[in-house]
Chain A
């Protein structure tokens, strides 16, 4: 059967990653920046799974599992930081936290 060609999947991963990057650069709300990070990590995992499916190996899916673990750890720490920022600065604007210089 004609399965999905690899470059189409990689193209989708690239588009999703670029969208996440644009969201990370454009938004100034910390919650939206974390969500954009999730989009980018998800797109990177998609690229690994597509490449693993191309060669018929399970390694791509293993790396996606590790990315999933890392995303879960990152988002829990990140959201705890968001709570702290909101408690101290009473805002979610990331520019307000720019007083920490060096």
Chain B
């Protein structure tokens, strides 16, 4: 499985370099999603399938959707339609699609090969992770819940539209 790891690593580096050099936020987000997906494949190969699933669901799913929402909210107004025209004209989707196709081929290869060959000798099952998470690290889970509650309240307070009179 070393070959899969190296290909995924190369895809991750290429897509990250492209993500931090794009001028357009949406294009950068596309490459960033590909980078996170390739890191998920790296997790899968080194024997952490649960973390691979969480990487796809939370990072590439939830957090990137937050970014997309904010980028879309900021582009309201007259410039938005011009930008939309510009984005749809070029073939910017080709680059991320090629990189994502490489990752899909890797996943197909991993799924089709027998299970004993996919994982290394030390695969850590989600059950093991859960036992440790709610055992010695229980206080960490509680602190994480407090952190998320604080982030929820903070994001609500900051994102609230203040009345025009008090706006300085």
A binds B: yes
**Interface positions of A (Cβ within 8 A of B):** 1-4, 8-9, 12, 15-16, 19-20, 22-23, 26-27, 29, 31-32, 34-36, 38-39, 42, 46, 49-50, 52-53, 56-62, 64-66, 68-77, 79-84, 86-87, 92
Task: Name which residue of chain B comes closest to A39, CB basis.
Answer: B16
User: In whole angstroms, what is the CA distance A68 to B42 when docked?
Assistant: 16
Tell whether B80 is near chain A: CB-to-CB under 8 Å.
Answer: no
User: In whole angstroms, what is the CA distance A23 to B57 when docked?
Assistant: 24
With both chains docked as a complex, state the minimum distance between the C-beta of B140 and any C-beta of chain A, in angstroms.
6
For chain B, the bracket of interface size reads 35 or more
Do B20 and A32 touch (CB < 8 A)?
yes
With both chains docked as a complex, state the minimum distance between the C-beta of A33 and any C-beta of chain B, in angstroms.
10
Tell whether B158 is near chain A: CB-to-CB under 8 Å.
Answer: yes
User: In whole angstroms, what is the CA distance A65 to B159 when docked?
Assistant: 26
Do B19 and A61 touch (CB < 8 A)?
no
Do B132 and A72 touch (CB < 8 A)?
no
Query: Assuming the A-B contacts A4-B45, A35-B32, are A72 and B63 also in contact, with contact meaning beta carbons closer than 8 angstroms in the complex?
Result: yes
Task: Name which residue of chain B comes closest to A60, CB basis.
Answer: B48
Do B148 and A62 touch (CB < 8 A)?
no
User: In whole angstroms, what is the CA distance A94 to B56 when docked?
Assistant: 30
Do B74 and A92 touch (CB < 8 A)?
yes
Produce 1/0 per residue, B132-145, CB < 8 A to A.
11000100100010
User: In whole angstroms, what is the CA distance A32 to B161 when docked?
Assistant: 24
Do A66 and B140 touch (CB < 8 A)?
yes
Do A76 and B128 touch (CB < 8 A)?
no
Give the residue among B1, B6, B137, B159 with the most A Cβ atoms within 10 A. Answer: B159
**Interface positions of B (Cβ within 8 A of A):** 1-2, 5-6, 9, 12-13, 16-17, 19-20, 25, 28-29, 32, 35-36, 39, 42-43, 45-48, 50-51, 54-55, 58-59, 62-63, 66-67, 70-71, 73-74, 117, 120-122, 124, 128-129, 131-133, 137, 140, 144, 147-148, 150-152, 154-159, 161
The A contact surface, by secondary structure, is helix
User: In whole angstroms, what is the CA distance A7 to B25 when docked?
Assistant: 33
Do B12 and A3 touch (CB < 8 A)?
no
Question: Residues of A contacting B6 with CB < 8 Å?
Answer: 8
Task: Name which residue of chain A comes closest to B35, CB basis.
Answer: A39
With both chains docked as a complex, state the minimum distance between the C-beta of A88 and any C-beta of chain B, in angstroms.
8
User: In whole angstroms, what is the CA distance A82 to B62 when docked?
Assistant: 18
Question: Residues of B contacting A87 with CB < 8 Å?
Answer: 161
User: In whole angstroms, what is the CA distance A64 to B47 when docked?
Assistant: 14
